[in-house]
Every structure is written in C-alpha cells, then in structure tokens.
Amino acid sequence: MTDSRAGIRRRRATTAGAAALLVVLGGTATSGCAASPRADELPQRAKLTFTDELATSYLRQYTESERAERGDPSELFYVGLAASRVSPGTGQVSARNIKVTVDTTATKSVTFNAMQREQGCKGVRGLITCTPKNLKSGDSANLWLFNTVVRRDVEEGPVGPMKVTVTSDNAPTIHRTIQLVVGEPALAVRESKGLTDVAPGSEVKVRPAFGNRGESGLHDDLSVVVDVKGQATLRREFSNCRYDKADAPTRAVCTFPGPLPARAAYETDRPFTAAVAETGRQGAITYTVYPAPNTPSRVQLPDSAPRGAGAPLGFRPADGGLFTTFGPEFAYGVVPFLTTRTRDLQVNGFALKGQVGQTNDISVKDLDGYYEGGVYLTLPEGVSLAWHPSGEGHEELYCDYVNEKNRKVLCPSPLIDPPTLRFRIDKRVKGARGTVSVQPDPEHPDPDLTNNTAPITVEYVD
C-alpha cells in the first residue's frame, strides 16, 4: 500500500537530561549534586520547520500605468512556520520567543516596507527582525512580515539573495536562503482528457506539455515530476530522469535546461509509458512542472536514484492554446484512465511496521490506488491512531476514527494522493490482525466481492 489544483502558492530528536549519581542512605535517595528532574519536569523542546520550501522568489515588475493605478505596487512577503514536539512526553509544547531575522543586505534593486506590527517587525540597515507569537506543536502559521517593492526600470533577472534565520528559546535555529528574481513567469500545462476502456495489461502513453504564459521569462532550469497512481508502473527509459525504483518505478524526476521564455510552450519529444497491470482497474498519470530550485523535497529523488538506460528526454515546441495557467511556482496536469475492469473494487492487505511507542505514517489505498470512495479499516489490537491535523485547510488527507472503541477507521476518498494513516503501536499483541475493506457501489454491482476485504498485520521492530 503504499500537486487537484493546489491553487496557488501554498502550494522528531530526544533531549536527555544527565542523571545525577544517587547514594542510598537509610532508604532515602540523596545526591551529591542537584536532584534529577522528573521526566515531566525536563525542558520541553520544540522543533520549527519552514512550510514553504521556495528557494527562488519571483517578483513582478509593474508597468508605469500599473504603478499609477495601484499606487503601491508591492508584493507581500510571508514566512511559513510549523512547530512540532521533540522532547519526551505527551501533549503540546510551544516554541517560545520566536525571532525571525531577514538579512536583505545582499539584495539590490528591491526595497522593503510595510513592516507588520502584529508580528513585531522592525528594519534597520537591511536587517529586518520580527517577533511573532509562540507556536504550539502541531500548529502552523503563514506570517506576513513585510512587503517587497521592485524599483523602476530594473531589468529582469536575479537581484540577490535574502537570508532568513529563525530562532527560539527552546527550538534549534533554522536557516534558508531565497534568491530574489525580478520577473514573474506563469507556468501552464496542456489540458488533458481522461482515457476510458483501457485494456488491462496494455500501455498508456502521456506526453507532458508545459509553457510560460507570463510576460517574463523563467531563467532557471526546469523539473518535471511524473507519477503513476494506480495499478500501473512506469517504463524506466530516459537517462536525464531519476526513478524511485530500478524495477517497476512509479515516479520519475526529470531535469531540463532553462530558460523558459515568456509565451513559449513545449512538449516532451517522446511520451512517458505506463504499463497497466493485468488486473488493473483505474489510475492516473500526473505530471508537475517546477522551476528546478523550487522542486519540493517531498517529491525529489537522490542523485543515487536509478536512471533510465535510454537517450535523454528532450522537448519540442508545442501549441500553447489549450493550456491551463497556474503561477510562477508550479503547474500540474493529470491524465486519469479507466480500464474495462473498473467496477471490480479490490484491496490489498498490508503491514503496519514500527517499534512499540513509535508513530508512523502509511499511505492507504485500494489495490489500484485510485479508488474514488472511502477505505474502511479495523485496526489491529494494540494499534491506535496518532495525533494528526483535522478539519479543513490541510493539504494532506488523514484517516480518522468512526468508532474509536472498536478501532474502526475511515480513510476518506482521495483527491489525487491517497489519504495518510498516522498510527501508533501501543503494545505488542501476538497475532494481532485487522482488516482493510471497500464497500461496493449499489448502483454499479461489483462482479467479485471476494477481493473487497484483506488483512492488516503488525510487524514489530526491536
């Protein structure tokens, strides 16, 4: 078991205390130094991470008429932060006395204004410091700190790095550098129709097509990330693409040299091929185009990942008329497919692996990985759901209880990516088993009900 349009820009270490040497006198424990703190009195450590991994930020250069109309042709600058707990124990802990320092001294042709008082922002000689509120573990915040303004008559291209440092009283310091670039491209992909009546065991071919419908060129290299969702795998073909596995991969990350000029459109000179399994029912091939520096870590593959054995994939000019525009950070396309076995709902069994007391994530989907309904679980004894985000406003879907007492869980219908089961192994239970199942659609009879339920097992790691 293993980007729906994101819309627009959104898109653990243990601290140990030193134990004091104890000497037992008359049944009373004493110490030659200060008494050791109890576990619940240990310093509560937090961890801060950036929720936005953009390494390049594109700034729009406004025309004189736009400047006259807007009056303040500025762009809002945000820093996204998330807090988590790294010290032992349960419950929440807050990252305290957070300080965000933005060093703009190496930038040119850009000014910074509108320091946000609610974030405690002040600017002195190119150093902007902000003191936002404490952030509780499990929470995140998108902090508007100030505005950026491109000066008049600045040519397109890089205008220098901006360095961001975040400190806290009880969290490690984190850093990032953002390259500012004048000129805002608008990435787009070709609209695609879904495929129906695909024969199981056949091949589906998709040729990604992308372009720049903005007024400014994109000067970075490009990454194209291709994923297969469902009971299908990619052919490992192209030498400038890295694949997640040597055999039957499901992801390819390909790099193409820039630039991508304004109003240009291209398609790959050869298609990607997905081999549909003999029992394949439905799935999708997705492709996402990023400026290479802004490719998210969650989709990247290491340099050591296997590459294709064939000639490098290139691209050729294309008609950009039927393209959907996204923005400067990415563009996303999807080609769903249905086979002639689409009504046979089925699931695979899987194992929950980990140490007792450990929290892990696993993606939950049916056998094909692209089932449009919910997946129902009965967790094995000794396993429970761990804390996870709930409600709206989260990019990732999570499974949740429908009957906690009986360990019944619903993993909701996926959009594109399958929902995540965040589970905790509470104790060892010999022979513990659960189930994963899908429920047939009464309007479309399932021709084979014997493959609608499968076991969930537990593999304990010492």
Q: What is the pLDDT of residues 247-286, one digit of tens each?
A: 999 999 999 998 999 999 999 999 999 999 988 888 899 9
pLDDT at 43: 59
pLDDT at 231: 85
Annotate 319-328 with b (16+ C-beta within 10 A) or e (fewer).
ebeebeebbb
- Write out the residue range of the structural domain in which residue 110 sits: 41-182
Are the C-beta atoms of residues 420 and 397 closer than 8 Å to each other? yes
Q: What is the mean pLDDT of residues 204-224?
A: 94
Average of per-residue pLDDT values in the chain: 85
pLDDT level of residue 462 (50, 70, 90 thresholds): confident
Predicted confidence (pLDDT) at residue 20 exceeds the cutoff of 70:
no
Look at residue 5 and tell me if it is in a domain.
no
Query: Phi/psi of residue 118, each to 5°?
Result: -65, -20
Q: What is the pTM of this model?
A: 0.68
Predicted confidence (pLDDT) at residue 454 exceeds the cutoff of 50:
yes
Task: Enter the DSSP assignment of 245.
Answer: -
Predicted confidence (pLDDT) at residue 32 exceeds the cutoff of 50:
no
Are the C-beta atoms of residues 13 and 257 closer than 8 Å to each other? no
Domain stops at, among 339, 374, 398: 339
CATH number at residue 283: 2.60.40
Q: What is the mean pLDDT of residues 207-230?
A: 94
Q: What's the first-to-final CA gap in the chain, in angstroms?
A: 23
Residues 329 and 398 in one domain: no
How many domains is the chain built from?
A: 3
Q: Which range has highest mean pLDDT (4-8, 141-145, 440-444)?
A: 141-145
Residues 213 and 323 in one domain: yes
For residue 221 the two structure tokens come to 């290299």
Residue with the larger pLDDT of the pair 23 and 103: 103
Look at residue 36 and tell me if it is in a domain.
no
For residue 223 the two structure tokens come to 């990454």
Q: Measured between alpha carbons, how far is 249 from 232 in angstroms, rounded to an integer?
A: 9
Q: Which range has highest mean pLDDT (85-94, 200-209, 334-343)?
A: 200-209
Share of the chain above pLDDT 70, in %: 86
Look at residue 249 and tell me if it is in a domain.
yes
Share of the chain above pLDDT 90, in %: 62
Predicted confidence (pLDDT) at residue 81 exceeds the cutoff of 90:
yes
